[in-house]
Each structure stands twice: as C-alpha cells, then as structure tokens.
Chains A and B, each alone.
Chain A
Amino acid sequence: MTEGKAGDHIAGLSKRLVVLFLAMVIAGFAIPSPGIAGGPDPGPPSLYHPLGVPSKPELLVVPEIGLRAPVLPIEVDSQGVLTPPSDFHEVGWWQDSAEPGSATGETLMTGHTVHTGGGVMNELGEMRPGALVQVRTAHGTVDYRTTKVFVYTKAQLAKHKDDLFGQDHGNGRLVLVTCIGWTGHDYTSNVIVFADQLGVRNDDPLAKQHFEKTNKKHYPLVKHKRLLVPSDVAK
C-alpha cells in the first residue's frame, strides 16, 4: 500500500514536471531571444531624417574647401572611363550610381582638377574626416559627413573599382573623386573622399516645401532634446 502511495506521489510529481516543461516550451516559442530578435537601440534623437524619395543631385557644396558647383549627370563610356563635365567649374554625377537619399548603393561624383588652378575639385585633397558635404536635390538637401580621404593610383582604383563604386553594396555613401599627381603631362592618381549620409536636416526648407506640397499638410518638425550644431557634424 505504501508502495502504491509512493507511485501516486511520483505520478503527481511527473505531471507537474510535464506541465512545467510544456510551460517552458511555450515560453521558449513566445519569448524572443534578445540577441536575435531584439531591436536596435534607437540611440539619441537626431537632427536628421531620411530624404523622402531619392532624388537627382543638383548642387554640390563643400564649405571646408569653398566648393559650390552645379551637378550634371554623366555616363561611363564603353572603355569604362568616367569623365566629368567639360566645364571644369561643374561636377559630374555618375547617373547609374545611387541618387542622394538612397539607402543602398553609393553616390559617385567627380569634378576636374586643373593643374594651373581653377578646377572645381582642385582642393579636394585638402578635405579632412568630419567635414560637412551637402548635396541639394529637388526634394531637399542631403548632408554627409566625410569619413575618409585617401589617394589611390590609377591602377589601384581600377583594382578596387567594385569596392569603391560598386552599386551592389553600400548604404548611400557619397564618393567624391578627382585627379592628383601631375607629372607634367599626365595625372598618376586619384583623390577619393568617402562621406556617410546623415540625411536631411529637419529644418530644411526644400524638404518642408516638398512634404507640404505632396502631403497637403504641415511639415512635422520634430522637437529634440538637443539640436546638433555644425561642430557636432565636424566631429
């Protein structure tokens, strides 16, 4: 009889265990692992928001080197050569690259360096990481922050063309390129500038105008605890 009671006791314990296991199984399915499904930390509030729709560039402004030039679309020729507009005061945007505001690909722009001076990108090599770059489009001005400035020989550029300009990767980074290394009859290298996309400032008038025109309502100005200032951008 005692043995029978012990059996009942074990059976009762086993039932509780089964219930516990089932509860854990359900919990395992229901509760997501923070390492897998946890959302990213939203971080501090930003002064920027994404451009509503990627748009063709119209004007390039780099305050640090006094560059302010109209942007025209250009194409790569059959030999794989990308040549800026013949007017060396203008900047060319490779029209097969990403439009400013795009979340993928890379936006490639190039302008002439003129050996005797006056080229729109003569001072590109003087840029430093942190410098602000602005690209105006019909739908707003996209801000970028310079991350890298470096020199590649022509051969290195050709070797790394996919990493530098390929459209199968990237997050809308801006790439500026011009020539450097004048030998007396030719240029040996390229200066390359990488700039990460910050977005459109919340107080950008063009973006506001475009939003109100297309949405027929007031532009939502987000209030922030602390607005970024130009020195933040330069960091």
Chain B
Amino acid sequence: MLSHVNHFHGFANKGDALPGGTILNRRVLRLSAIVGAVTVSALAVAPVFAAAPVSQATAEGLSLGIAGSPTSIGTVTSTNDGTKETKTGVTNPPISLLKGQNILGLGVVASETSATVAANGDGISAACAGLAGNGATIAAVGDSSCLAGGHSIDLSLGNIDLSKLVTIDPASVLGPLAALNPVVTSLLSPITTALSNALKSTPLGETGLTADIGAIQASCNATPGAASGTANITDVTIGADLAGTKVNLVTLPIHPAVNGPDINVDLAGLIDDILAGIKAELHTALNGVLDPANALTDAIKNDVVDALVPKLNQALAPLTTALFSLKLNQQVSSAGAIDVKALQLKVLPGLSAAGIPALLSLNVGHVTCGPNTKVAAPPTTTPTTPTGHPKPPTVVDSGLAGHNTARDVLTATAALMMLAGAAGLIGYRRMLVK
C-alpha cells in the first residue's frame, strides 16, 4: 500500500513539469480507461457464468473411425438453465448415417439424456447411450441397464487384408537362394509378383473380424457435487474368420471393472495354423501356374517356401501382440461430473506406432453427466394443489384371467338340468290337473 502511495506521489512530481490541468485529466482518463476495460472484460466473461447450466448430460451412441476419419451418430445433449430443459440431437438415429459403411447389421443405436431440476432446486441429469439389437428401446434413462429388449446383432468389423503387411522382396527374402544358385535368380524374378498375388488367396488375404452383440451401453447420473456411472455389456463375443474357420477370440465380461486393463487380443496361438495353410498354398502355386515351363526343381521350390515362410512369420509378428485392443468401462470423474465410455475397440492398434491410425476404431456408448448446480428456488411456481402432486400408482392391475371354459360348461349343464326339471314339473302338474 505504501509503495502504491509513493508511486502516485512520484507520478505527481513528474507531472508537475506538464501544463496545469493535464495531470488531473490524465489521472481521470487512465482511471476511467481501467474501469472501462475491467467492465468490458467482466461483461465478456459474464455470459459464461450466466449460461452455466443447472444440470447437463450428453450421450453418444456410436462413433466409428476408419483409418483415422471418425463418424459419430446418436449424439444427444440436454441442458437445463433452471427454468427449462433444452435437448439437441437424435435419440434413435438410423445406422445408415454411418456414411455407407457396411459394418453394422440390424441394430439400434440409442442415446438419451435428461437434465431436470428437482423440487428442492437440485440439478439432476442422466444419460444413456449404446448399441443393441433391433427392437431395443431405452427403458429408463440413468439406470444401469437402460437399453431393454431387442435381439442380438452381428457386427462385422471388416475384412483386414493382412497380405498388405507382407511384401515379397526378392533381394531380401529370396536373396539367399540366388546366392546359392545363380540360375535361380532368373527363374525367381518373374514369379515374385505372382507370389505376392498368390498370398492373397491364402488366409493372409482376408481376415474377417466379427462381433456378436446383445447390448453395449453406458449410463450415468449426476446431482450437485456427485456423479456416478456404469457400463453394461450383454452377450458380446468377438471372433475372427480365418480361411472360413470362425474362432472366438474373446467374450466380454457383463460388468467390466472400472478402468480395467486393456484387453489385447492376438493371433499368437493361430499363427502356426495360418503359416501351415500358406505353406500348402505356396507349394500348390509353385507346382502350377507359377512354375515357368516346369523349370523349378522340387528342391528349389522347397527352398523358396522355406525361405519365404520365416519372413512371413516375421511380418505377422505384430499380429501376435495385438490384432485388436479393447478398453471397457473407462471412467473419468471430477468434482460432480463423470465421463463413461462403455467400449473402445481398435483393430490393428500396432499400426499407430508407425504413425498410421489404427485400421478401425469403434467407440460404443459414451455418456457424460454433470457438473450440476442448485437453483435457489424451485423451478416452477405453479402448484396446482396445496398438497403437491398426486402420488402415482405403484401397481396397474389391468389383467383379467378371462372366462373359465370348464366352469362355463358346468354352469350351462346346471342351467339345462334346472330347465329340464322345471319342464318336467310343469308336465307332471298338467297331468295331475287332467
């Protein structure tokens, strides 16, 4: 404070050299400028605070990235400013919005959010998002299992052309053979390209990844200062289709642990089978169209295959560490807010090490809830009854058993017997009268 006074004192002394009146003007003007700047800054910032919602939630049903270009569908947002809820987005978008990607079969992408204000002024928000089979609907937003009903769906994660991972380089792969037998060089050169093409007809050519899905969903709830969320996965199995053979690679847990370790799935156990198939294919090819005028001896053919297979094994090494990786129930919490991602899948994530985006990334069920605040007064002041709203029913008893057929037959029989008895009595009385 003292330095502040001294500062002004010094300023005044310096200003004494200026014409009279200028000092005061400059002081006033500078002070006014500062006040103006502060006011303008405050006004610029004020809308941020004014627009802060009392409750908020977002939901994203599904996002799909193919070679790094993501597409999201089913993004819904709800906010409540204390007086009304504003919702944007489509809760049940058609899967066809996935830019023509033929990845999902019959299924339902669902997202739902709500942002309300409780009677005590608490901002309440909830969200649910996920993927389920046809016929599924959102039962209740905020529940752990909010997608109800529906059939299971098949998800094709796409065919992966693994043959592109392997290049036939005669200099490096077949080079040792050329060194052993110079004649081989001239024989092998024309068939190098043909060998590459031949690989495409092997199990390397296409590996189909498939998923069988009951439901994958994430949900969350938030109140002022508190938020919680969960992921729920029902009947999800991911498998591979290798040369026509379907192999189940992983079955996902129903209630995955929060922020559990990545699930990395590889083909280590299947590589030997794949290579055996390739070896047989190459032998067949070398005995047929690839053999220029039958000039290759059996010994050379064996050498070609034996030289090639280890190189293929080396090329397939990335698949023995990560064909795809999964993250389940990823949650990030902060004060009164939560972010939940039910499932994140990356196919060939190892490619990212080489600066190439994963071949396919799929995120299913992403929700956020909060942070919420509290409004001072109840949002509505239009009580219709002094005692508040009526209590809703806990039971709706709207079923009847219907007519009991056996009982009806008995009743009808009894009625007929009574009728017959009455008729007999009347006849007997008439007979007596006569």
Q: Which A residues have a C-beta under 8 Å from some C-beta of B?
A: 3-4, 7-8, 10-11, 14-15, 17-18, 20-22, 24-25, 28-29, 33, 35-36, 76, 79-84, 88, 94, 96-97, 105, 108, 110-119, 121, 129, 148-152, 154, 156-158, 160-169, 177-180, 182, 185-187, 190
Contacts and interface: CB of A to CB of B under 8 A. Distances in A.
B148 interface: yes
B106 interface: no
Contacts of A186: 399
Contacts of B39: 21, 25
19 contacts: A7-B19, A17-B36, A21-B36, A24-B43, A25-B43, A33-B47, A35-B47, A81-B395, A81-B396, A81-B397, A82-B396, A113-B398, A114-B402, A117-B402, A150-B149, A152-B139, A165-B392, A167-B389, A179-B398
Interface of B: 17-19, 22, 25-26, 29-30, 32-33, 36-37, 39-40, 43-44, 47, 50-51, 92, 116, 119, 137-140, 148-149, 388-403
Contacts of A116: 401-403
Contacts of B116: 169
A196 to B, nearest CB: 12
Given A81-B397, A115-B401, A150-B137, A17 B392 contact: no
A80 B395 CA distance: 6
Given A11-B26, A15-B29, A151-B148, A35 B51 contact: yes
A205 B26 CA distance: 75
Contacts of B36: 17-18, 20-22, 24-25
Nearest to B142: A163
B402 A115 contact: yes
Contacts, number: 161
B395 A79 contact: yes
Q: Which 7 A-B pairs have the closest CB atoms?
A: A21-B36, A116-B402, A179-B399, A165-B392, A14-B29, A187-B399, A82-B393
A184 to B, nearest CB: 9
A115 B92 CA distance: 33
A166 B389 CA distance: 8
Chain A's interface: helix, strand, loop or mixed, by majority?
mixed
A157 B139 CA distance: 11
Contacts of A164: 392
A11 B22 contact: yes
Contacts of B17: 3
Nearest to B18: A7
Nearest to A29: B43
Contacts of A117: 402
Given A149-B137, A166-B389, A11 B402 contact: no
A18 B33 contact: yes
A152 B26 CA distance: 75
Contacts of B391: 76, 80
A178 B398 contact: yes
Contact of B40 (A15, A21, A149): A21
Given A14-B33, A24-B40, A164-B392, A151 B149 contact: yes
A168 B392 CA distance: 10
Q: Max chain B CB contacts within 10 Å: which of A14, A105, A118? A: A14
Given A80-B394, A167-B389, A177-B396, 11 more contacts: A3-B17, A11-B29, A21-B37, A22-B36, A29-B43, A82-B395, A114-B401, A115-B399, A150-B139, A161-B392, A161-B394
B140 A163 contact: yes
A165 B392 CA distance: 6
A36 B402 contact: no
A29 B43 CA distance: 8
Contact of A4 (B22, B47, B119): B22
A108 B92 CA distance: 24
Given A17-B36, A151-B148, A112 B399 contact: yes
A123 to B, nearest CB: 13
Contacts of A10: 26
A190 B33 contact: no
B398 A148 contact: no
B393 A76 contact: yes
A129 B92 CA distance: 11
A212 to B, nearest CB: 29
A11 B334 CA distance: 50
B25 to A, nearest CB: 5
B401 A185 contact: yes
Contacts of A158: 394-395
Contacts of B44: 28
B33 A3 contact: no
A148 B138 CA distance: 8
Contacts of B401: 114-116, 182, 185
